[in-house]
Amino acid sequence: MNRFDYVRPRTVAEAVAAAAVPGSAYLAGGTNLLDLMKIGVARPDRLIDLNYLPGLDVIETLPDGAVRIGTQVRNADLAHDRDFRERFPAVAEALLSGASAQLRNAATVGGNLLQRTRCAYFQDTASACNRRSPGSGCDALGGENRLHAVLGWSEHCIATHPSDFCVPLVALGAVVEIEGPQGRREISLSDFHLLPGTTPERESVLTPGELIVALRLPADAAGFAAHARYVKLRERTSYAFAVVSAAAALRMEGGRIVEARLALGGVAAKPWRAEAAEAALAGCLPDADAFRRAADVALEAARASGDNAFKIGLARRIAIRALTLAAAGTPERTPALPASPFAPITGGLHV
Amino acid sequence: MSDANRSRHGSSIGQPVTRRDGMQKVTGQARFAADNNPAGLLYAALATSKIALGRVAFLDVAAARAHPGVVEVMVQENRPALAQHPDDKSVPFSFKMDLLQDDRVRYAGQPIAVVIAETLEAATEGAALLAPRYEAEPVEVTLDAAGAYVPETVGVGAPAEMRHGDVEAGLGSAAFRIEATYETPLQFHNAMEPHAVVAAWDGDALSLDMPTQGLALTQMRLASLFGIRMQDIHIRTPFIGGGFGSKLLSGPQVLGILAARLVGRPVKLVLTRAQMYGPVSHRSPTRQTLRMGAAADGGLTAIHHHLRTATSRFDDFLEPSGGVSHSLYAAPAIATTTEAVRLDTGTPGFMRAPGEASGSIALESAMDEMAAACGMDPLEFRLRNYAEVEPVSGKPFSSKALRECYTEGAARFGWAGRPLEPRQMRDEDGMLVGWGLGTATFPAMMFQGEARAVLRRDGTGVMESGTHEMGQGAWTAFAQIAADSLGLSLDQLEFRAGNSDLPNAGIAGGSAHTATAGSAIHSAGGQAIERLTELAVADPRSPLFGAGNVGVVARDGRLVRRDDDSRSESYSDILGRAGLDMVEGRGSAAADPAVAERYAMHAHGAVFAEVKVDPDLGQIRVTRLVGAFAAGRIINPRLVRSQYYGGMIWGLSFALQERAAIDPRTGRVMNADLAEYHVPVNADVPSVEAILVAEEDPYVNALGVKGVGEIGITGTAGAIANAVWHATGVRVRHFPIALEDITGALEA
Ligand SMILES: Cc1cc2nc3c(=O)[nH]c(=O)nc-3n(C[C@H](O)[C@H](O)[C@H](O)COP(=O)(O)OP(=O)(O)OC[C@H]3O[C@@H](n4cnc5c(N)ncnc54)[C@H](O)[C@@H]3O)c2cc1C
Ligand code: SF4
């Protein structure tokens, strides 16, 4: 690991000012950043520690009913917050399906949004990688790319965004609040991450020095609480990134879907909201046919970027499963194996 | 064996004593090699090669040296001289090492320099600053590599080809035949504790804190490499955080010792997780083709087990997968053949059940396919082909309670009523349910080992044997054997182990440590008791005077007349009267070639697996594992059960999870960390049971114990693969079984 300066700002303004110096990086839980520093992928000159900033670790309900989550709220604290879990069960389930208990205790909201791809070539400094080193090429093409993107990729980069948390968030229309040298702004989460195009090194709309201060879930997002699920396929029962995942949320009236939300994870460089599929579901009966049609729409543009054609079919199936489970109703308690197809197994105690 | 020795009935052996080191482990008090920080310690970091073949053209040594805290950079030019070439393999179980002897690179992850610094951080950054430049050559790292050859041996000197009976005739006459090819992946060692060393030189004396599974062999190789005397090398290895065959002596550890020599200060070198994917051996990939024939009644007519596997470009170890087919099922004709390729990887080596693990998953899958072809239940089919004598050699088994394993395992699992056809069972949530079976087997081996026992005047005893506590509970089991051999309770016994100054206990490998060192301990204790007995029965003042002919037994710190319980004397009294502070006994153990000539010796087991498979998504979960194992006498049922659990969980890993993703273009492993190199987590193992099936073996060794460390993997992986087939009707023949193997086949 390179030598670096360590800065501990006392206010958000101080943090933003400190980060204006080129070569700076914000340190939140450190579960991604420090790992990348150890393997030489990230080599910041200055770490701006967010862990001592006041007021950023609060979950609050705003007068309009929206919920605002400070960026330093830990993934575990958010998932286990009773009110939050009741209003946004799919978000809690997604959080609990990610990483391990220890990691969730450290990981933060902002850090989760901004975690880097798990593409092996991105993590290997001897490989060509446009995202890490613009213009160097992409060794994932023609390499170990079983788990790479099937939507929104380009020849310049086929990586996926690995977050579980972001998938239901984007489905529910979350908004990111940003503080920066130019002041405060906010942006919808679905516009926050960028597809690779010809500039895969640009992963989000953040400009240098900008700080995520909070995430907001609009009041209407709680309207899906009765029918909201997250399902995640992975190569072991727990503690693995998604091969593909889906968040589905339905607002039902009189046995019909009034409004649907659907997003996919593990398929693209951003959490993939499937708006056309959502539109296709509005007004439908929640049956297998409707779900199949919606899933087809969601994956219409999908194409393999390598040895991953199977992910297209799997993504379609997981979308159907998530919709089916959402239609059946949110379980009273978060399943013992959150987001697992094996969630119904009784007696499972592990997360 | 003396009478006194033979007739003692043990009080510790057979008890489920808890681990003596348990409290230390769970409270973090157990001191592993890397926990040692001698005064003046420096830290070493390896720089490893990113290419797999070629040469290192340039290292920026100046940049590394200039980094604050860096003390020295060890490269080819300044690496201290060695007395023996690192390729020399004259010490048993040795492999060629990469000790900066030249600028060649022969695999990715090969050490190319060592940076020594005041802190680990400085050493690590120094290694990064070396920014090597290479001249790379094209590599071959998969089984499809060109240049396949037929080797003479596999494993450690086992013949690569074996033919018994006429396989082609057997296949020709069969009513049912199968031919199938199974592939197992490249797997890497991932013991919890990475390889480490803390080395300190004092002139030509070398002091080491270092995990090793073979204290004496390690001492021997280091003595040859450095041209120093074995007795000047002191290795402490009180705890090993898992070895699994990778921890004899690794090249990186020798580099740590060389670094200490170079700088004249103690040096600590600990591999990073990623650095374990290269220089510390691995399990090579295999491609195994099984051809089997069976008569109309289900009796096997022939087994042909053909293996294609790989070794490194520069050294030899071939995973001996065919061996399992020699001893397990009765067939009049059995052949195993091998072909191999050389790859630009590190040299493969011993990984828990080397050969048996990979061979078993292929053989047990094929047996399942054969049973299905015959329309028979897999258990019935295995019983139909039960080997009453070892099929290839014709020798009787020294003991074999496999039939009981099948019976007890099947009963516990509830195997009866299993539908013959696949895809017949569902649970209440609509998951596909499947049941599979695999037979477990592992040879019962012995190495050479020694022990020294002392009975002291205060009535306590000491047993010394340089045994290895790898986490398996050796320290506890050996203490139990020692206590019984000396007629003492555990708390009257001091057991000294894990140190090269003690008698050579052989290696902890081949599931033979308990058999070997345990037998030596047993005999050392016996000899000490004999000495004491001689003192007592010859002394007219002893109540045991004259008992020589009828003998005495040692029990609870006393010698007791066998024919008269009321006549006994304590060890203290005997020694006190003789004016002695102690008596000593020495013991040794080794395989008895005469017994091996007469008997086939193996542990056996039967593993039953239940899996559930999501019919749409292909996600697999092993919901139940029941293994029933017979491995001779059980020293400590609690520890043995843990060994079986661990083996079975590794079997699960083998069937469903473990796989190194090697990039064929570069030879680099692209998932060299525990986030991406998957092994099971708790949630993957909801229920695992191990049944200890009684088995008495009067031949294997004085204690009657067979090994339990490796057998659990065998059988299990195949049982799971077979259960997946039974659940889904999809026969996957490459491992680990992936999501797309199931959904892909269901879609097709
Ligand atoms: C072994 C392992 C398994 C994992 N499995 C999963 C999984 O299954 N699912 C999943 O979703 N995730 C998984 N993760 C990833 C984990 O969720 C992320 O590492 C974590 O969320 C990152 O949060 P952090 O607070 O530790 O971020 P940090 O590591 O501190 O930061 C990450 C990045 O975000 C930037 N950053 C942080 N906060 C801010 C802010 N407020 N404003 C601007 N920039 C900021 C940092 O500068 C850095 O670039 C896994 C991680 C590991 C190590
Ligand atoms: S897929 Fe993207 S992250 Fe991976 S190597 Fe290619 S450019 Fe880099």
Q: Which residues pair with B689 in a beta bridge?
A: B626
Distance CA B10, CA B555 (A): 9
The two tokens of residue B303 are 């087994």
B493 shares its domain with B618: no
The H-assigned helical ranges of B99-210 are: 120-129, 167-173
Sign of CA dihedral A195, A200, A205, A206: positive
Distance CA B482, CA B494 (A): 9
B570 shares its domain with B697: no
The two tokens of residue B314 are 């520069």
* Closest CA relative to residue B127, chosen from A119, A123, A38, A120: A38
> What proportion of chain B, given as a percentage, has pLDDT over 90?
96
Sign of CA dihedral B179, B185, B186, B192: negative
Residues A195/A26/B67/B32 CA torsion (nearest 10 deg): -100
B737 shares its domain with B599: yes
- Residue A195 falls within a domain, yes or no? no
B706 shares its domain with B670: yes
Residues B204-223: pLDDT tens digits? 999 999 999 999 999 999 99
Whether the predicted pLDDT of A207 surpasses 50: yes
Residues from chain B that touch A127, judged by Cβ atoms under 8 A, are 666, 668
Residues from chain A that touch B616, judged by Cβ atoms under 8 A, are 317, 320-321
| CATH code, domain with A309 | 3.30.390.50
In the prediction, which pLDDT does A349 show? 43
> Could you tell me the pLDDT band of residue B4, with boundaries at 50, 70 and 90?
very low
CA count, 13 A, side-chain hemisphere, B229: 6
Q: Which residues of B touch A (CB under 8 A)?
A: 50, 68, 121, 124-125, 128, 274, 429, 431, 612, 614, 616-619, 621, 623, 656-657, 661, 663, 665-666, 668, 670-671, 675-676, 678, 680-684, 686, 738-740, 743-744, 747
Residues B259-312: pLDDT tens digits? 999 999 999 999 999 999 999 999 999 999 999 999 999 999 999 999 999 999
The verdict on the CB of residue A159 being under 6 Å from ligand 2 is: yes
Inter-residue contact B459 to B492 (CB < 8 Å): yes
B541 shares its domain with B406: no
User: Span B67-89, mean pLDDT?
Assistant: 98
Our count of domains for chain B comes to: 2
User: Span A277-294, mean pLDDT?
Assistant: 98
The verdict on the CB of residue A131 being under 6 Å from ligand 2 is: yes
Distance CA B581, CA B5 (A): 22
> Could you tell me the pLDDT band of residue A347, with boundaries at 50, 70 and 90?
very low
pLDDT, mean over chain B = 96
Residue A198 CB contacts under 8 Å (≥ 6 apart), including other chains: A154, A156
Atom of ligand 1 nearest to the CA of A114: 34
B554 shares its domain with B634: no
Quote the ligand 2 centre to A1 CA distance (angstroms).
22
- Residue B197 falls within a domain, yes or no? no
pLDDT, mean over chain A = 96
Characterize the bridge pairing of strands B153-154 and B158-159.
antiparallel
Last residue of a domain, one of B554, B589, B624: B589
> What proportion of chain A, given as a percentage, has pLDDT over 70?
98
> B374: part of which helix (H) or strand (E)?
helix B356-374
Residues B295/B722/B319/B398 CA torsion (nearest 10 deg): -60
* Closest CA relative to residue B511, chosen from B684, B701, B658, B374: B701
Of B124, B617, B621, the CB nearest to A1: B124
> In whole angstroms, how far apart are CA A78 and each of A107, A190, B369, B505?
11, 21, 50, 54
> Could you tell me the pLDDT band of residue B745, with boundaries at 50, 70 and 90?
confident
| CATH code, domain with B551 | 3.30.365.10
A340: nearest CA partner in chain B: B619
Residues B611-640: pLDDT tens digits? 999 999 999 999 999 999 999 999 999 999
User: Span A237-260, mean pLDDT?
Assistant: 97
- Residue B517 falls within a domain, yes or no? yes
B54 backbone dihedrals φ, ψ, rounded to 5°? 140, -145
A290 backbone dihedrals φ, ψ, rounded to 5°? -60, -40
In the prediction, which pLDDT does B620 show? 96
Whether the predicted pLDDT of A345 surpasses 50: no
* B417 φ/ψ sector (left φ>0, alpha ψ -120 to 50, else beta): left
Inter-chain touch B125–A320, beta carbons under 8 Å: no
Which residue numbers of B are catalytic?
710
- Residue A75 falls within a domain, yes or no? no
Inter-chain touch B619–A233, beta carbons under 8 Å: yes
Whether the predicted pLDDT of B249 surpasses 70: yes
- Residue B406 falls within a domain, yes or no? yes
What letter represents residue B178's amino acid?
I
Whether the predicted pLDDT of B585 surpasses 80: yes
Distance CA B257, CA B80 (A): 10
In the prediction, which pLDDT does A350 show? 42
Inter-residue contact A196 to A131 (CB < 8 Å): yes
Our count of domains for chain A comes to: 1
> A275: part of which helix (H) or strand (E)?
helix A275-281
B524 shares its domain with B625: no
Inter-residue contact B605 to B581 (CB < 8 Å): no
Residues from chain B that touch A139, judged by Cβ atoms under 8 A, are 663, 665
B429 shares its domain with B469: no
> Could you tell me the pLDDT band of residue A344, with boundaries at 50, 70 and 90?
low
Which range marks the domain in which residue B632 is found? 395-445+591-748
In the prediction, which pLDDT does B549 show? 62
Question: Which of these ranges, A179-188, B135-144, B542-551, B648-657, has the smallest mean pLDDT?
Answer: B542-551
In the prediction, which pLDDT does B301 show? 98
In the prediction, which pLDDT does B748 show? 58
The DSSP string of B274-332 is GGGSSTT-EEPPEEEEEEEEE-TTS-EEEEEEEEEEEEESSS-----GGGHHHHSB--S
Instruction: Pick the ligand that lies closest to the CA of residue A269.
Output: 2
Q: How far A318 CA lies from chain B's nearest CA (Å)?
A: 7
* Distance from chain centroid for Cα B252: 21
* Closest CA relative to residue A13, chosen from A48, A57, A62: A48
Which range marks the domain in which residue A324 is found? 225-328
In the prediction, which pLDDT does A264 show? 98
B455 shares its domain with B565: yes
Of B121, B738, B747, the CB nearest to A1: B121
Q: Which residues pair with A177 in a beta bridge?
A: A186, A214
- Residue A307 falls within a domain, yes or no? yes
Q: How far B657 CA lies from chain A's nearest CA (Å)?
A: 7
Inter-chain touch A350–B681, beta carbons under 8 Å: yes
Atom of ligand 2 nearest to the CA of A158: 1
* Distance from chain centroid for Cα B682: 22
Distance CA B413, CA B416 (A): 9
The two tokens of residue B75 are 């490269």
* Closest CA relative to residue A52, chosen from A70, A72, A32, A33: A72
Residues B32-45: pLDDT tens digits? 999 999 999 999 99
> Touching check for A237 and chain B: CB below 8 Å?
yes
> Could you tell me the pLDDT band of residue B7, with boundaries at 50, 70 and 90?
very low
Quote the ligand 2 centre to A44 CA distance (angstroms).
20
- Residue B610 falls within a domain, yes or no? yes
> Could you tell me the pLDDT band of residue A1, with boundaries at 50, 70 and 90?
confident
Whether the predicted pLDDT of B2 surpasses 80: no
Residues B312-321: pLDDT tens digits? 999 999 999 9
Atom of ligand 1 nearest to the CA of A210: 43
Inter-residue contact B483 to B12 (CB < 8 Å): yes
